[in-house]
Amino acid sequence: MKRLVYQIFILGVDRVEFFFFASLCAAFVFYPSNFAGMFFSFCITLFFIRKKSGILISFLILLLHLFAANCLLVTDIKSYSGDRYNYATTGGTLISAQELQVGDIVIGNFRLQIYSGEDEGRFARGYNIAEDDGVVFHMPLVGSVLSYRKWLSEKLFDSSGAKLRLTQAVVLGDKKFLETPVKDNFYLTGLGHLLAVSGLHVGLYAMMCYFIFSFLPFKLRLFPAGVMLLLLIPFTGFKVPVLRAGLIGFAVIAAKLLDYKTDLKKILLFFAGIFILISPSMAADPSFLLSFSAVYGLLSMHMIKVRRYLEPFLVGLVATVFIIPAASVSFGSFNVSSIISTPVLIPVLSLQVIVFFIYLIFPSISLEPLILLEKLHLGLVDFFADIFRFMFTLYSTELIWALLAWVFLVLCVRLRVLWMTFFLLLVPYLPANVEDGWYIPNMGRSKGFVVQGRETHIFYKGYHSDFLYGFLPYLAKLGVQKADKGTINIYGADNIFIPIKTESEDYGGICVNESTPDCRAVYHTRSNTYNCNDDKVHVLYKNRCETEKTYLLSKTGDVKIEYKSK
């Protein structure tokens, strides 16, 4: 027993592991307090990284924490309405009355406005609103790179006759040309990670650069690969996942150049701790949790020996298993078929990256190959969507269970029994027991509800983004996978996620925007449309009057109304 405890909790654990754990604890305890965050970021770094380098790094993290909390870099101008601008920034969307340019760093007071329908909490997602005009510093070089990226993306679209849309997303991180059905198919098949430029794409760029200069000695090949990683950060629009992966990759290359012995798992934990100290909200950021979990699992993949031709599928298998805890909390959807489809699509994605770089030098001869590769990529995604649609499932769990699942994964790694982690693949497919009741989420501008009884009835009417990131995660929490009756009306898109046996306006006793004798409750899609002139249950976002049977979602949030099915 003592040996087992030693192997799990002591063996191989040193300052790096404790540094990561302390950073994580500080984020969850003190966020969103900037003062406490800066103080403990400085102290934790100083304690674990001693001597003169510790003092230097502590002050650097303190400055970067201050910068991340009060500064935003403008990467794109989305729109202008009235006296307000909508900007894309390194910290998300910014709404401001101040006129800014791409490449501007704005320093000021920003208020986080939580997205409508988002659960309240310290780590709730939202967008930034500038309280007043901030101090602006323009970075001409950064602005030029971002402007060139935008011009290049539009050139690909125009020169191909609008045939190139996916290429911009997978090589430049620009998804504005992607059509909704395409994005839905990626989401349905569990391939959404291919659309988000992240560590996978950074690795492909680095490997391509490494092989291009294969005629050089080993260390000389590392120089262009390192430069490539740094250039990718502005070239992909300062995407945070690229920033993380690029800096970690650059650190590994620097260690190789200086002949330092590297432990990739410790480097991952060290930089993860650094990023969390600089930006504590990252501890609950889905992209950070998914990428960190996947890479941590892949660094332990050597524990399982398979034939070389099976290694790509083992990569997909291990990565999928290790992201289950984070995905179950953040997204609520899962498709195990990505274990098969990801290794098939990686070679196509690699060819797209290679031909794209050829396009930068010889655009006339590489445009058609790019178009053909995009057609192949989209064709394969459509194929996987057709044959693996049945493997898509909605699954969500409480934070405590996700943490326990992550502890289980770590224990399997520590005990060197990685194969036991594969049992987690069964968890998202376990049937859920949904109690009878009317389940009504507060989604703000979009409307929907679920009636669970002898049959499952469903209603949704609203925007695609609200359906994907609001309604589906809500269904995942309930354990609802399909409906017997109801309607789903998504503006500008089709419903390919929730099968409905019979599409009808039979909503299990709830009427929508009308009151008839058969209605047990009335659900209003528009506010201020109830005059409080009957004794039925009425559900609205907000209303001028209310009774004991009126539920105003703007006050109550998500609602569950218990009832017995007839």
**Of residues 234, 238, 196, the one with CA closest to residue 330:** 196
Q: Which residues form the domain of 256?
A: 145-399
Q: Residue 565: its pLDDT value, please? A: 57
Quote the pLDDT of residue 1.
Answer: 45
**473 in a domain, yes or no?**
yes
d(Cα 198, Cα 288) in Å, to the nearest integer? 10
426-459 pLDDT per residue, tens: 888 888 788 889 999 998 889 999 999 889 999 9
Specify the pairing of strand 447-452 against strand 456-462. Answer: antiparallel
Q: Based on the fold, state whether residues 305 and 269 are members of the same structural domain.
A: yes
- Relative to beta strand 71-81, strand 84-89 is antiparallel
pTM check: above 0.75: yes
Residue 546's CB: how many other CB atoms inside 10 A?
15
Q: Are residues 306 and 337 in the same domain?
A: yes
pLDDT at 438: 93
CATH classification at residue 41: 2.40.50
pLDDT tens sequence across 26-38: 998 888 888 888 8
Q: What is the pLDDT of residue 95?
A: 92
What's the Cα-to-Cα distance from 146 to each of 105, 142, 199, 217, 391, rounded to whole Å?
Answer: 13, 6, 20, 33, 39
For 459-512, write each residue's pLDDT tens digit: 999 999 899 988 998 999 898 999 999 999 999 999 999 999 999 999 988 999
Predicted confidence at residue 5, as pLDDT, reads 39
Q: Domain for residue 416, yes or no?
A: no
Exposed e or buried b for every residue in 317-340, given b needs 16+ CB within 10 A?
Answer: bbbbbbbbbbbbbbbbbbbbbbbb
Q: Establish if 417 belongs to a structural domain.
A: no
Q: How far apart are CA 167 and CA 340, in angstroms?
A: 22
Q: Is residue 271 part of a domain?
A: yes
> Which of the listed residues 103, 121, 138 is the one where a domain comes to its end?
138
Residue with tokens 């300062």: 238
Dihedral, 296, 302, 304, 305 alpha carbons, nearest 10: 150
pLDDT in tens, 130-177: 888 889 999 998 899 899 999 999 999 999 999 999 999 988 888 889
Cα distances from 96 to residues 102, 103, 104, 517, in angstroms, run 14, 16, 13, 49
Q: Which domain-ending residue is among 138, 166, 185?
A: 138
| pLDDT value of residue 117 | 62
Whole-number Cα distances in Å, 50 to 4, 47, 61, 62: 32, 6, 14, 16
Do residues 336 and 362 share a domain? yes
d(CA 1, CA 265) in angstroms, rounded, equals 27
CA 350: distance to chain centroid? Answer: 22
- DSSP code of residue 91: T
Q: Across-strand partners of 76?
A: 88
Indicate if 245 and 172 belong to the same structural domain: yes
Is 352 in contact with 315 (CB distance < 8 Å)?
A: no
Both 124 and 222 in a single domain?
A: no
End position of a domain, from candidates 92, 120, 138: 138
Judge whether 55 lies within some domain: yes
In a domain, 430, yes or no: no
Instruction: Report the greatest alpha carbon distance in the chain.
Output: 84
Question: How high is the pLDDT of residue 138?
Answer: 92
CA 300 to chain centre: 23
- The rounded distance, in Å, linking the Cα atoms of 298 and 435 is 39
Question: pLDDT tens per residue, the chain (566 residues)?
Answer: 444 333 333 444 578 888 888 999 999 888 888 888 888 888 888 888 876 777 888 898 888 888 888 899 999 888 888 788 999 998 888 999 999 999 999 998 888 888 766 667 777 788 899 888 889 999 998 899 899 999 999 999 999 999 999 999 988 888 889 999 999 999 999 988 888 777 777 877 877 787 778 788 888 888 888 888 888 888 888 887 888 888 888 888 888 887 777 778 888 888 889 999 998 888 888 888 888 888 888 888 888 888 877 888 888 888 889 989 988 887 788 899 999 999 899 889 989 988 998 999 999 999 999 999 999 999 999 999 999 999 999 988 888 888 899 989 988 888 888 889 999 998 888 887 888 899 999 988 899 999 998 899 999 999 998 999 889 989 998 989 999 999 999 999 999 999 999 999 999 889 999 888 888 899 999 988 888 888 889 999 999 888 888 999 988 889 998 875 55
Beta bridge partners of 502: 485
Q: Are residues 91 and 185 in the same domain?
A: no
Q: Let me know whether 386 and 504 are in one domain.
A: no
Per the CB < 8 A criterion, the answer to whether 464 and 493 are in contact is yes
Specify the pLDDT at position 6. Answer: 38
Sequence letter at residue 433: N
**Residue 51 and residue 122 in one domain:** yes
Residues 305 and 274 in one domain: yes
Nearest to 280 by CA among 19, 16, 40, 88: 40
CA distances from 15 to 21, 85, 127, 267, 314 (A): 10, 46, 36, 12, 31
Together in a domain, 151 and 127: no
Calculate the alpha carbon distances from 179 to 114, 147, 163, 458 in Å: 27, 23, 11, 26
Q: Determine if the peptide bond prior to 280 is cis (ω within 30°).
A: no
Query: Measured between alpha carbons, how far apart are the two ends of the chain, in Å?
Result: 56
The predicted-structure confidence for 516-534, as pLDDT tens digits, reads as follows 888 889 999 998 888 888 8
**N residues, the chain:** 566
Task: Report pLDDT for 248.
Answer: 84
d(CA 187, CA 332): 12
Number of structural domains, the chain? 3
Q: Which of 350, 333, 330 is nearest to 342 (CA)?
A: 350
Q: Do residue 281 and residue 162 come from a single domain?
A: yes
Asked whether residue 178 falls in the same domain as residue 121, the answer is: no
